[in-house]
Structure 1
Amino acid sequence: MVKTSRKGSWYEIVVPEEWTSFTLDQLLRHIWKAPKKMIHSLRMDQKVLVNGQSPEWNKLFTRGDKLQLRLFEEEESSAVPAYHPIDVLFEDDHLLILNKPAGMDTHPNEPGQTNTLANAAAFHIQSSGETLNVRHVHRLDRDTTGAVLFSKTALAGAILDRMLEERQIKRTYLAITDGLIKKKKGKIIKPIGRDRHHSVRRRVSPTGQKAVTNYEVTRLMREEKKTLVRCSLETGRTHQIRVHFSDMGHPLSGDTLYGGSSSYGRQALHAVKIELFHPFTGEALSCHAPFKDNPEIFHNIDLSTI
């Protein structure tokens, strides 16, 4: 794991042996794949140093070099800080993972909105004495619960966005469907587009965007005539899991928008785990999100086995 430390507004990385085959320019452009505009800004504003000096961008790193990046500068939050109780699953200088409750949007959808998870994240950062712009890396539907990843700096956010696009961030979901699914595991590959008859709904459509959902039956709930399934996504389309299972003839329980029963007060969908390698240190991170529903929706599940 790469050795790092924070010193005020600067982030210091001790260059490991495996970095000695590339340059600072290659690190930013080809390893981290930071946006060109961001790299230009770091360079022009002298926010990158090596051993305390202006760097030679095309010189190979030497093991033990101290790479310093000015990442932690004051920046106004794009979401209005507003207090809401939150469940922090992981936090360091760069990342924040929160456990989203039901009935809360991930981010504001209109100016001045203050009742979202992003508002709560901004307040959390502010209350720790920092002025940083926390950014959501992905989102969950209003009534879907579980792990949501935020970045705390612009560079971390850019790297995480790229990791998400390249499927280097794995998100695992648990869902309860209506009916008993006979096939134990499968891959649903059906494009999803807007439903022109409904402003909110999505539907399987040959002209839609590619959407791939992997699923595995975890438990057949025979008495309730329901199925507990574990899902992972290869794409991140709006309402993807909900649309795919509805199209299968097994809508999520509680998901009345897509034909599900009214068994629960919301769709039975929970983002139970998120896994990734830390964008700077390379540390393997794995966070489980405990269930928060009252009354419970998901019963007798050992999160450590997922």
Structure 2
Amino acid sequence: MKTRRLGEWLEITIPMKWEGFTIERIMKKEWNVPRKLLHKFRTEKMVTLNGVSKHWKQTTVQSGETLRVRVFEPQPLQVTPSYIDIDVVYEDDHLLVVNKPVGMFTHPSQPEQSDTLVNAVAFYFQMNGFEASPKYVHRLDRDTSGAVLFAKHDLAIAMLGEQLKKRDIQRTYIAWVEGKIKPSHGTINEPIGKDRHHAVRRRVSQGGQEAETSYSLLHYESAENASLIKLQLKSGRTHQIRVHMSYIGYPLLGDELYGGKKNLSGHQALHGAKLAFIHPFTEEKVECLAMPGGTSIFKPEHVRLLEQR
């Protein structure tokens, strides 16, 4: 899909596959624009065809014509910007992928909190002249490092949110677990619910939400009796990887909440190493690798193993 930014407008060259579609079909069926945003686009004449505002239901588009949507209008900042260095993995006009460090919350839980990844990205936006609040597509636990996907405008967050709901955004993690995992690959399909006896902990529970985790062995470290594994989720439940691995007898290193032994890092050994998805506007495949750094228990070579398997 051929697209470009023109000031506050996104311009799309109509592809052959949209030939004869109405503007309304493109907005509702191809892009799944939510109702509230549809209403805004329509009433404020934020969609044009060849530079002219047209009737959505009556106007059909032809290949090569230009559709413009005003998605980059300035928006009030709803979070306090904080100067914190961030590791940008991928960026374009619509999206930002940031490598979250261990020990940082993804977003504020209190209005006065200003040391989260969202606060840091807000500052990054401000310094780069982008007037909008960061919109995270998914979250990571405070003590899980790795790639977090942000959208830069309302249409992008709506489209990426739909992809996430349909499980079209592939998130790949690496983890160190205790022992030599057997079998070397498998799928855990067990529902997860809250633990009635603990405010934070989750547990496998037949009354919980469905959850599926696939894993495979990347490397066994005999000196530490620990397995480095690759994990992929077909759902995104709270603490899903930690609960499932503990359930089958291989808790994450350092994950004391779920039966893991205490280690020097003081937290679970889990890293969101890779994001893969289809770009909502260009329709190109985007793959992002988040390399661990600093004092992380993981090394870049651990992430590179994903590309070799």
Question: Shorter-chain-normalised TM-score: which range?
Answer: over 0.9
SS in structure 1 at match of 2:172: strand
1:205 and 2:205 aligned: yes
The answer as to whether partners of 2:269 and 2:297 remain within 8 angstroms in 1 is no
Structure 1 partner of 2:43? 44
Structure 1: 5+ residue runs without aligned partners? none
Matching residue of 2:131? 131
Aligned to 2:183: 183
Check the 8 A contact 1:88/1:98 in 2, yes or no: yes
**Structure-1 residue corresponding to 2:24:** 25
**Structure 1 residue 16: deviation in Å?**
1.3
Q: Could you tell me how far apart the structure 1 residues matched to 2:17 and 2:27 are?
A: 15
CA distance in 2, matches of 1:133, 1:64: 33
Q: Once the 2 structures are TM-superposed, how far is the Cα of residue 213 of structure 1 from its aligned partner?
A: 0.5
Could you tell me how far apart the structure 1 residues matched to 2:201 and 2:78 are? 28
State the Cα distance separating 1:223 from its structure 2 match: 2.3
Name the counterpart of 1:163: 163
Matched, 1:62 2:65: no
- Mean Cα displacement is larger for which, 155-164 or 264-273? 264-273
* CA deviation map 1:24-61 (0-9, x unaligned): 11111111111112111100110000111012313321
The within-5 A match list for 1:134-149 is 134-149=134-149
Shift of 1:189: 0.7
Cα contact 2:291–2:303 (8 A) shared by 1: no
Normalising by structure 1, we get a TM-score of: 0.96
> Would you say the 8 A contact 2:291–2:299 is kept in 1?
no
Q: What's the % identity of the aligned pairs?
A: 45
Deviation at 1:165, TM superposition (A): 0.4
Task: Give the Cα separation in 2 of the matches to 1:276 and 1:247.
Answer: 29
Given the two structures, how large is their TM-score scaled by the length of structure 2?
0.95
Spell out the pairing of 1:247-258 with structure 2 (5 A cutoff): 247-258=247-258
* Alignment partner of 1:151 is 2:151: yes
Q: Gaps (5+ residues) in structure 2?
A: none
Name the residue aligned to 1:271: 272
Structure 1 position 295, deviation (Å): 5.5
Q: Give secondary structure in 1 for the equivalent of 2:115.
A: coil
* Corresponding position of 1:115: 115
8 Å Cα contact 1:264/1:297 also seen in 2: no
Cα 1:256–1:22 shift into 2, 3 Å:
same
3-state DSSP class of the match of 1:139? coil
* Cα distance, 1:255 vs structure 2: 0.8
For each residue in 1:89-135, what CA deviation from the matched residue of structure 2 results, as whole angstroms up to 9, or x when unmatched? Answer: 01111100000000000011111210100111111001111211210
4+ residue stretches of structure 1 with deviation over 2 A?
A: 295-302
Query: RMSD value over aligned CA atoms?
Result: 1.4
